[in-house]
Amino acid sequence: MATHDPELRKELDATLQTRKELGPEYESELVERFLEKLDTSVDQRVRRQFAEQQLQVARGALPPRPRSAPGNGYGERFGFATVSLVLAIPLSAIGAAHADLIGMLVSWAGIVGVNVLHTGGLFGWAPGKRKRETDGWD
C-alpha cells in the first residue's frame, strides 16, 4: 500500500498487529477506529488544500481548475458528443424526409460544425479557454 502519510501507515500497521494479538472478535472496533483516523486525516488534507486555494484567490491568482470542471474535463466533451449523436438521429431523418440526401448531409454538416466549435478546433476558442482580463492594477 503506497501512502503519503507515514503516521497513517504506522496506524494501519499498529491496527493490523493489534488484530493479530486480540483476534477477529475485536476486528470491527479496530477497523472503525482506523477509519475514524483516516477520515480525520482526509478532512485535514481537504481543509489545507481549500485554505491554499483561498489564499491564491486572495492574492489574485486563479486556483487551478480540477480536471472534472466544466470546459476542462473529459466528461463534458463525452456528454456533448453523446447528446450530439442522439440528436443526430431525428435531425438526419427530418433532413432526409424534406430534402433527401442533401438534407441529411446539411444536418450532419451542422452537427459536425457544432462539435468542432465546441472543442475549439478551428479557431482555438472554447468556452473554458477565455483569457482573464486585467485592469493594470496587479
Q: What is the pLDDT of residues 62-78, one digit of tens each?
A: 555 555 555 455 677 77
What pTM does this model have? 0.40
**Residue 98 identity (one-letter amino acid):** H
Average pLDDT over residues 110-120: 82
Long-range contacts of 6-10 (CB under 8 A, 24+ apart): 7/41, 8/37, 8/38, 8/41
Q: For the residues 36-52, what does the mean pLDDT come to?
A: 87
- Beta-carbon contacts of 1 under 8 Å, excluding residues fewer than 6 positions away, are 9, 12
Residue 1 has a pLDDT of 42
> Residue 127 has what pLDDT?
52
In the numeric block, which cell numbers belong to residue 67? 480536471
pLDDT of residue 138: 43
For the chain, the domains span 6-59, 74-128
